[in-house]
Amino acid sequence: MKPTSQKVMKAAAGAPTSVDWVTLNAGQRCDEARYFEQELFARVVAQDDAVLSLSQLYQLYLAKLPLPGKPIGALLFLGPTGSGKTRSVEAAAEILFGDPYAMIKIDCAEFQHSHEISKLIGSPPGYLGHRETQPLLSQDHIDRFQSPSRKLTFILFDEIEKASDALWQLLLGILDKATLTLGDNRRVDFSNCVIVMTSNLGAREMSLVTEGQMGFAPGALATHEINTRLEKIGIEAARRKFSPEFMNRLDKVVVFSLLHEMAIRRILDLELEMVQRRILAAGRGPFVLRCSDCVKDFLLKEGYDRRYGARPLKRAIERRLIIPLSNLIATGQISAGDVVLVEKNETPGKEDELRFSKGRGMAAAMGVNGGVNGGVNGGTQNTRKFTFPQPRMLGL
């Protein structure tokens, strides 16, 4: 028998012979996925785990490597109220499709009884309502936001814990086989869907942690220690509520972090930018809105609550900015091209009110630093001032 060299033996065994191996960077993202991640970080504040989870699923979709016969991904978002669970999915849809509502959103509070599942899958033949209305989870409804270049749909089951057990059983088949059979026996394909479920499970226990009623004062624990406790509470609450087979079909459970004061300040800047976009989209004489740093501090003081996240801040903006601005617009005191400056009222007895003034031209625009909502730097030319008592009877 002819002797076989060691090199040939290695080749026969599948070992490399004379190949130069190059180390690859498995953590690198493509340009489209990196852009998606950066934009998501800019819109979702202090929730890195949720952003990275959505970004990884989008990279998986771009690489065409999701598991065959399964959705692209299934995520469960837990955490305190107002921490950004729903906003994360809206931001992802806004980045990819230009509209935060370009997704299928199902409010699970509307499905607390088992018979209401027919709104999702339709009534079977012979039952009242058969084919009278299109089911919410029909193929046409799911695919309506897709484009030829982006075959992707976000499906959000909001507050999943409020739904009937029948909805959870329905989700088992969707999460496992990416298919659903409607009442008229049509099959729906979910293989191009990212399914996200949000829940406030454990919210009461989480509020005790944030308020310092579980053996620690509110300032005794660092933020990361509080978040660790919240994660443990959320996962344990989900395991108590949902069956093991349901939890086992989830790709990841993400517990949202408590929003600290610096995160709320960043959210304030984002909310003021959204107010500016609302003004421009309204078409009633678009103008530029600028808020001084004192106004921002005032809104933060009034709208920051650790228990309720960012929602009190949004209510404070509506009450303190939007309602007075609507009065100014409706009475014709603001016209197109104006620069509206919002400052803190320093008049004795009116310290809890804001003062609105307007100017025109570049001189007014240059009177404020820091972009659209910067701090005050000197006065403005040709300004008129308006002071409004804040509405207290609207319950906002």
Confidence of residue 307 (pLDDT cuts 50, 70, 90): confident
Beta bridge partners of 166: none
End-to-end CA distance of the chain: 92
Q: How would you write 213-236 as a 3-class SS string?
A: CCCCCCCCCCHHHHHHHHHHHHHH
pLDDT, tens only, 337-395: 889 999 988 777 777 788 898 886 544 454 544 444 444 444 444 445 544 444 333 33
Q: How many whole angstroms separate alpha carbon 197 and alpha carbon 154?
A: 11
Select, from the ranges 109-118, 173-182, 340-349, the one with the highest average predicted confidence (pLDDT): 173-182
* pLDDT above 90 coverage of the chain, percent: 43
Nearest Cα neighbor of 303 from 323, 319, 322 is 319
Nearest Cα neighbor of 363 from 347, 344, 375, 378 is 378
Beta bridge partners of 196: 75, 156
Could you tell me the domains of the chain?
31-258 (3.40.50.300), 262-388 (1.10.8.60)
> CB–CB of 85/51 below 8 Å?
no
- pLDDT in the model for residue 220: 43
Whether 95 shows a pLDDT value over 50: the answer reads yes
- Residue 303 in 3-state DSSP? helix
- pLDDT in the model for residue 388: 41
Tokens of 175: 């999460």
pLDDT, tens only, 252-275: 999 998 888 888 899 999 999 999
User: Which has more pLDDT, 91 or 286?
Assistant: 91
Distances (CA, A) of 381 to 180, 255, 306, 359, 372: 64, 50, 40, 6, 18
**Among 123-132, 181-190, 349-358, 367-376, whose mean pLDDT is lowest?**
367-376
